[in-house]
Amino acid sequence: MGRAFCPSHFPIMKKGKVIRMQAPAKETKRRSVSYAKWGYIFIAPFFIVFALFQLIPLGSTIYYSFFEYYRSGLKIIGPTFKGVDNYIKLLSLDLPRYLGNTMLMWIIGFVPQITISLLLAVWFTDNRLRIRLQPFFKTVIYMPNLIMASAFAMLFFALFSDNGPVNAVLMSMGWTTEPISFLNTVWGNRALVGLMNFLMWFGNTTIMLMAAIMGVDPTLYEAAELDGCTPNQMFWKITIPLIRPILVYVMITSMIDVPQILTNGKGGPDRTSTTMIMYLNNHLFSKNYGMAGAVSVVLFLVCAVLCVVVYFSLTKEDDGLSKAQHNELKAAKKVAAKAAKGGK
């Protein structure tokens, strides 16, 4: 076999004779330029800031949660290693009460908020209703969200005080003979916190739910209507499952700590409105860093569990089968797998 023809090995001929072979040209190696390092350089500031302001404080919080470390006047006590004493004290005395208060205050504020917001969002996005002046109503609904929580608290202090206009109206209508001390009764205080939470956030929740509903493919509703589905069935079978991520987001963000402002951080009366965040802030203000660290770690674990539950609830595929049907399907798959192994 002769050498394969290549221009770089072309022979130089003279009078029919080969004088010499042209030397092959040297192949120049191309240097490949890697831009991967620039990617690491650009994302490095994020990891540096995250480590400085997230990982290091988190590690120090967990570390000091095992120590007795607080300030008494001008004297600093500790840090003295105490093991899990802070956690035992927290779980045995304070955690059940304040965690129960947190869940109760969240339910009082969240249930009316999500109910009214979902109802308004469905109304505003339903083309069959043709509601007029929608921009005006949306603006009015969203305006309370622009007011600061401190301004809301001052307004509630003025309206619901013993000499406020609410008591004056109730007494003039003959519904009560004496002023009602809303802020000094257990359920009066809780009701005001729930009302304030509702007024502050239902506008923002309505706008987000409207955006979520408008993002649903209209052909799904058209197909369901052709199949004879009622509006109620389309709402529960199409709308709610498809806007579930936004509902979860609203549920989590509705836990913002309004009682801290309305009760001056005391959670009165008799700490019945004290939530976990308020309890944590009280320890921070009193310079009890050991107990504050233990409370922070417990809150971190609770949030981590909630995040895991939310993640799996959002990523789980909904195929329309019930739990019993899923169990039957799994059993059938196991029988089929055993039969396949036996056939081999």
Q: What are phi and psi of 92, to 5 degrees?
A: -85, -25
Sign of the alpha-carbon dihedral angle for 169, 170, 174, 177: negative
The 10 Å CB-count burial string (b at 16+, else e) for 247-277 is bbebbeebbebbbbbbbeeebbeebbbbbbb
CA distance 269 to 181: 11
Assess contact for 80 and 70: CB atoms under 8 A. no
Neighbour tally for 196: CB within 10 Å: 21
The 10 Å CB-count burial string (b at 16+, else e) for 199-233 is bbbbbbbbbbbbebbeeeeeeebeebeeeeeeeee
Tokens 């072979």, residue located:
21
> pLDDT at position 276, please?
82
CA distance 9 to 1: 16
Task: Give Dmax (Cα) for the chain.
Answer: 132
Mapped onto helix, strand or coil, the DSSP state of residue 77 is: strand
> pLDDT at position 260, please?
67
Assess contact for 51 and 40: CB atoms under 8 A. no
Its pTM stands at: 0.68
Q: What average pLDDT values come out for the chain (344 residues) when binned by 10 residues?
A: 50 53 54 75 91 90 88 80 87 82 84 89 83 83 81 84 87 85 83 84 88 89 88 88 84 68 71 81 83 88 82 65 67 74 63
- The fold of 81-313 is MetI-like fold (1.10.3720)
CA distance 196 to 199: 5
Tell me how far the alpha carbon of residue 167 is from its chain's centroid.
38
> pLDDT at position 48, please?
93
Mapped onto helix, strand or coil, the DSSP state of residue 75 is: strand
> pLDDT at position 152, please?
80
